[in-house]
Structure 1
C-alpha cells in the first residue's frame, strides 16, 4: 500500500520508502550527428551504394522474368536444379536489393532528428494546419527526396518492377493444365508390383521386416519415356510394416483387407499442401510431414492426429502374388495430394 498527499510531491509507502509523485520532463537528449550529416563525401558514397542496391534489385527482377521463359524446369533433375537456382538467386537479389537499399537509405541519409509536437484538440486551427503542411514540405526536403532524383528514381523503379518477379510466373500458368481430375487416378492398378524408389526393384513381402520403411513406386515407372515425373509425383508410396496386433484399422469402408501381415502402403503426398511425408516414428506409429507438422497415425488408417491436414493419407490396397511379391489390389480409392475445390475435405 502507498499514500499520496495531493499537496505533496512524494508518495509514501508502507515500508517507509518514498518515491516522487511526478517527474520533470527531461526533454530531448542531445542530438548526435551521423557521418553522412557532416561529411558530404560520406553522404555521396552512401548514395552510390544505395543506388547500386536498387539497380541490383531491378536486374534481379529482369533475371527472374528472363529465367522463367528461357530456363523452364524441364524433365530432368539437372534442368530443374538450374531453373530453381537461377530463379531463386534472381528473386533473392531483387528482394535484398530493395530491403537493404531502403533500410540503408532510411538509417543513413534520411533525417533522424527528434521532433516534439504538443498534444492538442483533434481539430487544429487553420494556422496550425498550414504549419503542419509546411513541416511536411520541410521534412520532404530534409529527407533528400527532392534533391536525390536518381536515387529516388532507382528506388521507385525497383519497387515498380518487383511485382513482375511474382506476377509473370503466376500469369504464365494461365491457360495451363488445371484438370484436377488427374489427381483421382495414378499408375497403380490391380496386379501392379510395388518396386523400390528409385531402382525399380520389385519387393517381396518377406524382405520387409517390422519397423521397415520403404519408398515405393509402381513397377514399370522407370520405363516410361514421357510423363514419368508427373506419374511419379502422384504415385509415390510409403510402405511400412507394423506388428499386425498394432493395427487398429486395415480395412476399406466395405470391409476388404488392404494390408498384408502388418504391411501397409499409403500415399507419400501430404493432404495439406502436397509435401512428401516420410518421417516415421516407430514407437507411436506416427508419420510426420516436415513442412507444416501434420501428423498421421499409420496404425489407424493414417488419420490426422495433429496439424493442418484435413483428411487421412489415401491408402493403397495391397496383397501378394503367387511368387510372394507385393502387388496393388487397385488404384487409390481417394484422390492423392491436397484437398481441392471439387471434393469435400472429409
Structure 2
C-alpha cells in the first residue's frame, strides 16, 4: 500500500510538472527527444475548458461547504453540508472523466507482457510528456486543478480543526480547580466534611466555575483512613479519609456514576468507582488505580483540605489531566 501511495504521489507531481510551462535547456540547444511513443492527436480546447470549469465548480462547492459549516444561522445546515460536499466530489469526478476521455491519449496495443527493462521508467515519463503535448491551456488547467484541490483540502481540515484548539493546546489542560476553591453539590451548596458518609457516592463541582467543563465534576467518597493506600506524596490529600477524583473516565470520557460498596467485607471486593459505559473500575483507596476494564490510567485525584468552618476545599489541581487517556498522554503537562 505504501508503494502504491508513493507512486501515485509521484505521478501527480510529475503530471503537474509536465503540464506547466516548458523551460528550455540552459545552453540554448534544442531538447533532444526520443521517437514518439504516443501518436500525436488533435488538441481539444473545448474539453480543456470543460475540465477547467469543472475544477472551478469543485472549488466553489468546497468553499460553500466551509461557509455552511462556519455559519450556524443557515437553516437545514446538515442537508446543505451534504449537498455541497457531494457536489464538490461529483464535479471533481466529472473533471477526471472528461480529462481521461478527451485529453489523455488512449491506445490499445496487443502484445506479450514485456520483461522488466531499465528504460521502462523513461518510457513512462515520455508518455506523460507526450500526452500533454495536445493541451493548449496547461496553465489554466494547473491553476484550476490546484484551486479545486486546495478548496477540498480546506473542506476536510475545517471540521477537524473546529473540534478543538488548533494551535493553543494549553486550553485543553486548563481545569477550573484551584487551591482554596470550595466543593459544592448540584444545588450550589458547599459540602461539609461532617456530611460525607462512608458507602455513599457524592458528586461535587468547583464553586463559581462552569460545570460543563470536562475537568469540573468530581466524585467524593469517604473510606476508613486505615484502608487508604495512597502514595507517600499524597498522604495529606484525603483528610479524615475523604477523597475526590475526576468524574470523567480515563477510557472514553463517560461519567462515572456507579459506586461498588461491599456489604460483607470478608466475601466481597473493596469499594470501587465504576464507569457504566465499558465497566472500567477504579480503586479509590489506591489513588484511583485501575482494577478492571479498558481504562489506560488511574483517575486523576484532587487534593482536599478542610477549612476552619468544616467545608471541603481543593488543596491544589488534579494529579494529572482529567479526561480520556489520549488527553493526559498527548497533552503532556500537568493541569493548570
Q: Which has the higher contact order (CA 8 A, sep 6+)?
A: 2
- Give the structure-1-normalised TM-score: 0.47
TM-score (norm 2): 0.48
